[in-house]
Amino acid sequence: MEFNNIHTPVMLERTIELLGPAVSHPGAVLVDATLGMGGHAEAFLERFPELQLVGLDRDLEALAIAEERLKRFSDRFHPVHTVYDGIAEALDSLGFPEAHGILFDLGVSSLQLDRTERGFSYSQDAPLDMRMDSTSDLTAETILATYREGDLRRIFEDYGEEKLAARYARRIVEARQVEPITRSGQLVQVLQDATPAALSRAGHPAKRVFQALRIEVNTELSVLRRAIPAALGTLAVGGRIVVLSYQSLEDRIVKRDLAAASSSTSPADLPVELPEHSPRFRLLVRGTEMATEEEKASNPRATPVRLRAAERLKAENS
């Protein structure tokens, strides 16, 4: 397999620029919390010859590809099959007391999008699977077959921010009474038929529903709510975290957690900030950063990305 042709890492040079000062010293540990096919990991291992890299992924196929791609770094690369809220346990299992850099590249991976049979894309007909971890039980097909209309509406509203959630949920329930909805092409047809003509030109009607189903199948947001605090807790003083988000629901969680960690806890009426109330982290970028227009043109998957980053200033109880 020609690895250079299967994955173009998003905002690669910027992530290296931000994490580099924290991981360039001997013995530094970088956690790639969303390893995927190892594009970011390979670049860091090449750039920093004394770096130890821990790669986490719930997708066994991605782990296998990354292990093959990075086998020349076998003494410095440590793959772990886990969801990224298990970051502390993964480090502990490898004997690393803390991390010096952490990278999250959130959302669905290139591998998952490109493998038609995984069912993540609404543009090609495939079984409605959408599992990032093939060992888990819940699939999109199961959700569409068993969730009540109200629950379908909830996930389409909450995870897809879909304005036609109620309409789509009702039509799905009606359609499954005629025949099971087992393939993405069937679901797309149901959604297209349910979309008023005036709205059909505003974007593909399946986009937000597929996003919502994927998030529900993989419990992505609840995992992320646990993962960011867990990651911050593992960072050494001077350690840095970079998070790449691809939709607003993810970015809001990251923004909230980084803002809280970088804020003073001093009471409002305290005239002088005591050291124990000073922020534990500082933000490394103002707001969010986006990919350059040049990168968006060469790598369309970089178009929606939002980057946030922070650095640990002091230990938890200091």
CATH topology of domain 3-111+220-312: Rossmann fold (3.40.50)
> Which helix (H) or strand (E) segment is 118 a member of?
none
What token pair was written down for 185? 């092409």
Buried residues in 169-202 as b, exposed as e (16+ CB within 10 A): bebbbebbeeeebbebebbbebbeebbeeeeeee
pLDDT tens track for 178-200: 999 999 999 999 999 998 877 76
Is 115-218 in the same CATH topology as 3-111+220-312?
A: no
pLDDT tens string 203-261: 677 889 999 999 999 999 999 999 999 999 999 999 999 999 999 999 999 999 999 99
Token output for 120:
């993540």
**pLDDT lower than 70: segments of the chain:** 1-7, 109-120, 200-203, 264-277, 317-318
Q: How far apart are CA 247 and CA 250, in angstroms?
A: 6
Start-to-end CA distance of the chain, whole Å, equals: 49
The predicted structure's pLDDT at residue 1: 46
pTM: 0.89
Residues at the binding site for S-adenosyl-L-methionine are 38-40, 57, 84, 105, 112
- Where is the binding site, in residues? 38-40, 57, 84, 105, 112
The CATH-assigned architecture of domain 115-218 is Orthogonal Bundle (1.10)
The pLDDT of residue 277 is: 58
Instruction: Please report, for the chain, the start and end positions of each structural domain, with discontinuous segments joined by +.
Output: 3-111+220-312, 115-218
